[in-house]
Structure 1
Amino acid sequence: MAEDLTIITSADKEEQYRSLIPQIEALLFGETYLIANLANICAALKEQFKWLWVGFYLVKDGKLVLAPFQGPVACTRIAKGKGVCGAAWEQAKTLIVPNVDEFPGHIVCSSASRSEIVLPLFHNNEVVGVLDADSENLAQFDHIDAKYLEQIIRLINFNE
């Protein structure tokens, strides 16, 4: 596939995801290098949705360690249970935070972040990382984002 995306902005959020997912599938097709695939997923999501920050953290040596992302510089290591990312890792579930200032123990990597969604990445029934997205808007993320982002992260192949 050419490295260009078809970005649609006139449609609702669900239609934007439905347009983007096949393009992400095409970007990942035939590529076995995990980091390249994570980088392209971040770029595609950032281009489509213009979120403040979107990226991955991968579990390494008992911490979440910064992996490919798009946006301002970020926290490099996050402990299990700390902040939204660490909580999603510990609880092994998607967390949607409408207002990060109201989340106990929120880690401020960017003062511009107002809302967040974090989804755990599973491999062999174990959390091996998270996908994190931050917005400058309150209540940016909802069940629609969770549904489609979960579809996107299921496309990631950790076996290569």
Structure 2
Amino acid sequence: MNVSTLFRVPRINVRDAATIAILMAMTYVLGRVGIHTPIVVFTFSFLATAVLASMYGPIVAGIVGGVYDVFVTILSGQMYLPGFTVSAVLSAFIFGLFLYKNEKFSPWKAILAQLVITLVVNTFLNTLWLSMSTLTAGYSFKVFLMTRLIKQLITTPIQMVLLVVVLGNPIMQKLIKSRWK
């Protein structure tokens, strides 16, 4: 696939807007299911983000990821930290880079996408945003990094397996590819 196809913003019709809204709602619901502690959060929201990125590409996925982050932060009443919006945009964008318009589903692309997101976004950037936030003042980057590395070592293989199972499902592949036509 060439670069112009990858970065072209697809036309969004009413059906697409409804699909994006449903996937955003799924992201919200899946974001509430999981393990939530002050430092470590593990949810299944990445699955809906990966499906959205597979269907609409990196540009739309990045925009939706950023809008979703701002929207949910405002609705939840939490303090807004722009760094986490950058992380949300980058995660969705990376999923789109690896998963958009891959005619034959490759589990390795899904695994590689999750690995890049884990290393760059989850381990480095999110740790940086946490250490810079006023909520966690007094804790150093190294302290957070060690905690988050342990979390990533445990959760990343689970995320990779779930991505391959969900995105590799023939019904899901049919749904994703129907958007590309």
Please report the TM-score for the alignment, with normalisation by the length of structure 1: 0.37
Q: Which has the larger radius of gyration?
A: 2
Q: Which has the higher strand share?
A: 1
